[in-house]
Amino acid sequence: FDNGSDAGLCSADCGREYGCGYGLRLARPESEFEMMRKSPAEILNNIFGFDSFLGLQNEIIDHVIAGGDALVLMPTGGGKSLCYQIPALCRDGAGLVISPLLALMRDQVESLNQLGVRASVLNSTLAYGEIKATEQKLLEGSLDLVYVSPEKLLTQEFLDHLSKCKLSLIAIDEAHCVSQWGHDFRPGYLKLNILKKLFPNIPRLALTATADGPTRRDIVERLELREGRLFVSSFDRPNIKYTIVSKDDSKNKLIKFIEDNHSGDSGIVYCMSRNKVETIAKWLTEEGFNALPYHAGMDKNHRELNQDKFSKEEGVIIVATIAFGMGIDKPDVRFVAHLDLPKSLESYYQETGRAGRDGLKSNAWLAYGLEDLSKIINFIVSSNASEDQKRIERQKLDALLGFCETMQCRRQVLLEYFGESLKNPCGNCDTCLEPVKSFDATVATQKALSCVYKTGERFGAAYIIDVLLGSNSARIVQFGHDKISTYGIGKEYSKNQWRSIFRQLVAKNLLVVDMEGHGGYSLGENSRGVLRGDEKVLLREEQFSKTVGRTSGKSRKRTKVTLEKAEDEALFQDLRAHRQELASEQKVPPFIIFHDTTLLEMVQKRPTSIVEFGRLSGVGKAKMERYAAGFLQVLSVPEKAES
């Protein structure tokens, strides 16, 4: 160090400031070095172990570091957390993160601690002593991030305490909870606008994965973010493959889907009712899967235990109602299966979005049938919503049906619904991979429509199909429908084929399910042209096999390897086992130690030294020091001699 020249000037005496590059040694006083914060890229690399930013992360981070407010819309798995975690580490003071999800807060704080970041959580479930200790640290400035529930935040006592602390930023996670539009509305969120008054100079950013227009406007208005910047990422989740099957034989189809693609993987199976959750979980268990139920009617402890197992053990399948999901941070959920139709495309996208947050290949699988329709319509009709709201719900249902019955790329339809457009078919959905054959269904449609008409526009699909097939059920005879001209005129198709046709006619609005909730059909406004023979109808041709072939439930082994080579797969499993050991010792979920992506990179790159290990994605300095030796040992076990 130069002692002679004036502090702050280049030691080469070129007259420029220090750091000009001409002086070999800089005259910067040591303390200032310490004060200099690291750059976002350095933090990304040294602490989080990632090479580059994803999508808009970089822009958002720069904007917040500069003191700007922002609303960030990114899909699940898009990388929202770094958008506030890195600025919090770059700016002075502690980052305040508001989140309504206790389990998620706990996991995030644990993950940050593993990375060597000083993070804590504050919520009402903690002991008094713990809360006081964290509050003291916050006051002393020895925390980088503190996660708070809205209830805790909004107590006068805590707000008073906060006003004495130095904050780097305020992040409002799950910001859609401020909107009455969404289903996650939290009244506490409405009061968060107080933060603007209390901390006018602290940047605030709101983050959400719910992107529709009304919700977005609500967030901006209610959180008073009008001067902030809006960042919207693409909502595409290219690693998720979408598949929809018809509901006949759905249980066996589900097992075959899991066996073929996901033996030993974690997944979620959604069902509409609590009863069905119980039945399916029991049945999957009997079939040899590690399946657990989850729904709001269960005893709280039991429910939490199951959720805990799902996140801490490998390969658990959770069977759940939609009560399950918010607050699940697990990055390696490999599949999301729906055994019943979700409420809307928004719900579908949110629920399926829980698969593959780590960016690895994942599946979204849905079995859907006509019976779902009447249930959902019943649901809408019997709710207390206003007529306007009901009409909106009905439109949402139509969009969902259109998606289910499309012959186009599923991803294109989905993204279009969310206001984005995808130029080319994705190549990673069922309709792309196995293009749907269509058939001229004009005559079939005419038969179906006139049968609906002739029976008085009050019966549902099951009955109409019976009439078309010429069934001699007592009901048909009782109503005299065995005498009408459409009786028995549809024998060229099977029951399943007719069901498929009816679903598509509903999706095309040629048939309308009545809004009284009885599930009866009437003719759609656009049906006249078809009945007159002026318009052709093309429908998708579905392949129906009698039974779904699958292996027996007993002694099921991992059939599908994640990796092509057996030795790679074996190593991957060894690494997973080591990770599970570490996780159990520390009582944390395995993904908090390392994500699957990092384990897979270990398999590919086979690092042999600590330095090489430190270069893996997801390995920052703290994790390198802590875990390199153990994993290197697993990696160095000599491969079995070839015989």
Q: Does 357 bind ligand ADP (CB under 6 A)?
A: yes
| Other residues' Cβ atoms within 10 Å of the Cβ of residue 492 | 11
* Distance in angstroms (rounded) separating the CA atoms of residues 530 and 445: 8
CB of 77 to ligand ADP, least distance (A): 5
9 binds, among Zn ion, ligand ADP, none (CB under 5 to 8 A by kind): none
261 touches, from ligand ADP, Zn ion, none (C-beta below 5 to 8 Å by class): none
By beta-carbon proximity to Zn ion, the closer residue of 236 and 308 is 236
- Using the minimum distance from each CB to ligand ADP, give the nearer residue, 58 or 450: 58
For the CB of residue 364, give the shortest distance to Zn ion in the complex, in Å.
Answer: 12
Site string for ligand ADP, 92-131 (x = CB under 6 A): ----------------------------------------
**Part in contact with ligand ADP (CB under 6 A); list of ranges 80-88, 365-373, 383-391, 416-424:** 80-88
Going by the DSSP 8-state scheme, the letter that residue 292 receives in this structure is E
Helices (H), 5-56: 30-35, 40-43
Window 414-433: contact mask with ligand ADP (x via CB under 6 A): --------------------
What's the closest the beta carbon of residue 84 comes to ligand ADP, in angstroms? 10
In the complex, minimum distance from the CB of residue 240 to Zn ion, in angstroms, rounded to a whole number: 11
Question: β-strands 438-440, 362-368: how paired?
Answer: unpaired
315, exposed or middle or buried, with CB in 10 Å at 0-12, 13-18, 19+?
middle
Alpha-carbon distance of 118 to 141, in angstroms, equals 10
Q: x-or-dash pattern for ligand ADP, window 45-64, by CB under 6 A? A: -----x--xx--x-------
Among 2, 358, 372, 601, binds ligand ADP (CB under 6 A): 358
Smallest separation (angstroms) from Zn ion to the CB of 340: 23
Q: In terms of CB distance, is 168 or 243 closer to Zn ion?
A: 243
Least distance CB 115 / ligand ADP (angstroms): 10
Enumerate long-range contacts of 634-639, CB under 8 Å, 24 or more apart. 634/571, 634/574, 634/575, 634/578, 635/571, 635/575, 635/602, 635/606, 635/607, 635/608, 636/608, 637/574, 639/567
Tell me how far, at minimum, the Cβ of 242 lies from Zn ion, in Å.
7
- Look at strands 511-513 and 438-440 and give their pairing: unpaired
Binding mask 526-565 for ligand ADP (x = CB under 6 A): ----------------------------------------
**What's the closest the beta carbon of residue 335 comes to Zn ion, in angstroms?**
17
- Under 8 Å between Cβ of 619 and 575: no
Write down the least CB distance from residue 408 to Zn ion, Å.
8
Indicate the residue type of 598: T
The residues facing 318 across adjacent strands are 268, 292
Distances in whole angstroms, Cα of residue 584 to Cα of each of 330, 397, 639: 16, 44, 27
Strand partners, 240: 362
Q: Angle at Cα 277 formed by Cα 520 and Cα 590, nearest 5°? A: 140
Residue with Cβ nearer ligand ADP (357 or 623): 357
Q: Are strands 438-440 and 538-540 parallel, antiparallel or unpaired?
A: antiparallel
Which helix (H) or strand (E) covers residue 269, if one does? strand 266-270
E-only strand ranges, 34-185: 70-73, 94-98, 119-122, 145-148, 167-172
Among 298, 364, 376, 409, binds Zn ion (CB under 5 A): 409
User: Are the beta carbons of 234 and 420 closer than 8 angstroms?
Assistant: yes
Q: Is residue 82 part of the contact set for ligand ADP (CB under 6 A)?
A: yes
Task: Kindly state the number of chain residues that form the binding site for ligand ADP, as judged by CB under 6 A.
Answer: 16
What x-and-dash track marks residues 412-451 binding Zn ion by CB under 5 A? -------------xx--x--x-------------------
Q: Which is nearer to ligand ADP, 414 or 513 (CB)?
A: 414
Residue 517 site contact among Zn ion, ligand ADP, none (CB < 5 to 8 Å, cut-off depends on kind):
none
Is residue 232 within the footprint of ligand ADP (CB under 6 A)? no
Instruction: Determine which residue in the list 80, 216, 222, 338 makes contact with ligand ADP, applying CB under 6 A.
Output: 80
Tell me which DSSP letter residue 15 carries: S
Residue 74 contacts ligand ADP per CB under 6 A: yes
Q: Sheet of 317-320: strands edge to edge?
A: 240-246, 362-368, 333-338, 266-270, 317-320, 291-294
- Subset of 291-350 contacting ligand ADP (CB under 6 A): 331
Residue closest to 444 by CA, chosen among 499, 482, 406: 499
d(CA 498, CA 307): 40
Cα(226)–Cα(631) distance, integer angstroms: 49
Give yes or no for residue 411 binding Zn ion (CB under 5 A).
yes
CB 171 within 8 A of CB 84: yes
Out of 253, 410, 481, 595, the residue judged to bind ligand ADP by CB under 6 A: 595
Nearer to ligand ADP, 101 or 513 (CB): 101
Does 590 contact ligand ADP by CB under 6 A? no
The span of 78-86, 271-279, 471-479, 493-501 binding ligand ADP (CB under 6 A) equals 78-86
Q: How far is the CB of 411 from ligand ADP (least distance, A)?
A: 19
**Which are the contacts of 373, defined by CB distance < 8 A and separation ≥ 6?**
341, 397, 401, 503, 506, 513, 519
Q: How far apart are CB 361 and Zn ion at their closest, in Å?
A: 15
Residue 77 binding result from Zn ion, ligand ADP, none, given CB thresholds of 5 to 8 Å by partner type: ligand ADP
Out of 63, 65, 70, 81, the only residue in the binding site for ligand ADP (CB under 6 A) is 81
Tell me the HSE value of 34 on the side-chain side, using a 13 A CA sphere: 3
Residue 81 interacting partner from ligand ADP, Zn ion, none (CB closer than 5 to 8 Å by kind): ligand ADP
Nearest Cα neighbor of 119 from 184, 197, 174, 47 is: 47
When binding is defined by CB under 6 A, the residue of 76, 123, 261, 362 that contacts ligand ADP is 76
The listed partner (ligand ADP, Zn ion, none) that binds 426, CB under 5 to 8 Å by sort, is Zn ion
Residues in the chain: 643
Q: Give the residues lining the site for Zn ion (CB under 5 A).
A: 409, 411, 425-426, 429, 432
Q: Give the residues lining the site for ligand ADP (CB under 6 A).
A: 50, 53-54, 57, 74, 76-82, 331, 357-358, 595
